[in-house]
Amino acid sequence: MDCFGILERVREKRPLVHHMTNWVSISSCADVTRALGALPVMAHATEEAEDMAGISSALVLNIGTLTSGLVYTMELAAKAANRKGIPVVLDAVGAGATKMRTDACLRLLKSCRIDILKGNAAEIAGIAGVEAEVKGVESISVSGDLKVIAKDLAGKLGSIVVITGKDDIVSDGKRTAIVSNGHELMGRVVGTGCMASSCIASFCAVEKDYLVGAAAALSIFGRAGELAAKKTNEPVAYRNKLIDSIASMKEEDFEQKVEIC
């Protein structure tokens, strides 16, 4: 697995990544996509959702500030993406916290093909029906082995399942990758989860093996988090440096910490 090689492909091909994302981290998601070398486009109007997905190379659906109308539009965009055969990433922000969010994820998983489902432990547990404690959009505790939960849910859905956390878990139901790049400061700043989804989508736009693409994206993103932590530990400065570390990352800066089992 050559994570840095996939980053180089993103930089070269500059895939267009269509986001339907939340209003809190929308700017950071655009920034991180651009820092990878890909091109972000944010569009959520029902009238252009299919057109925009149709000219893109990946689609990110993020329910962080969803409305019921937006879920419907996400379905349209995802179906267009499915027809075109481009990867669809669903970031299940706050699933488990309110019924509306859990229901929105279940509805999207049922009506479209979600290629990569991503969340923190509580969010994925909420979708898998496993007991979990959640506080807003933060995961507090989950009962059970996260690797097993990811693997079982991936098998059941026929999708890649990503659980982010101290170590990130990526499973397709058979193979499971553990990505241990990253830094604890990433969990202390707003928007890193959403930014991770932008990375996954950008990578899967150029890497057809989505398990490899998702794991590579998280490894590069996590490495940027490690590099940024060498510069600052202040939260806003850290997020800025995290994004900038992606833009400037050279092969010699990278250290891959991925295991596939």
Per rule CB under 8 A, is residue 188 in the interface with a copy of itself? yes
Contact residue for a copy of itself among 11, 65, 82, 178 (CB under 8 A): 65
Per rule CB under 8 A, is residue 191 in the interface with a copy of itself? yes
Per rule CB under 8 A, is residue 39 in the interface with a copy of itself? yes
E strand segments, 104-231: 116-120, 132-135, 138-142, 160-164, 168-171, 176-179
**187's tokens:** 């969990």
State which of positions 215-244 bind a copy of itself (CB under 8 A). 234-237, 240, 243-244
What SS3 string covers 22-63?
Answer: CCCCHHHHHHHHHHHCCEEEECCCHHHHHHHHHCCCEEEEEC
Q: Is 201 exposed, middle or buried (0-12, 13-18, 19+ CB in 10 A)?
A: buried
Per rule CB under 8 A, is residue 106 in the interface with a copy of itself? no
Contact residue for a copy of itself among 130, 137, 142, 195 (CB under 8 A): 137
Q: Closest CB to a copy of itself among 61 and 161?
A: 61
Per rule CB under 8 A, is residue 56 in the interface with a copy of itself? yes
Q: Do residues 134 and 126 make contact, with C-beta atoms less than 8 angstroms apart?
A: yes
Per rule CB under 8 A, is residue 136 in the interface with a copy of itself? yes
Q: Do residues 150 and 176 make contact, with C-beta atoms less than 8 angstroms apart?
A: yes
Q: Nearest distance from residue 98's CB to a copy of itself, in Å?
A: 4
DSSP tag of 201: H
Contact residue for a copy of itself among 80, 112, 189, 211 (CB under 8 A): 189
Q: How far is CA 23 from CA 19, 20, 29, 42, 68, in A?
A: 11, 10, 10, 11, 15
Per rule CB under 8 A, is residue 259 in the interface with a copy of itself? no
Per rule CB under 8 A, is residue 47 in the interface with a copy of itself? yes
Residues binding a copy of itself (CB under 8 A)? 14, 16, 18, 22-28, 30-31, 34-35, 39-48, 51-52, 55-56, 64-68, 94, 97-101, 135-138, 188-191, 234-237, 240, 243-244, 247-248
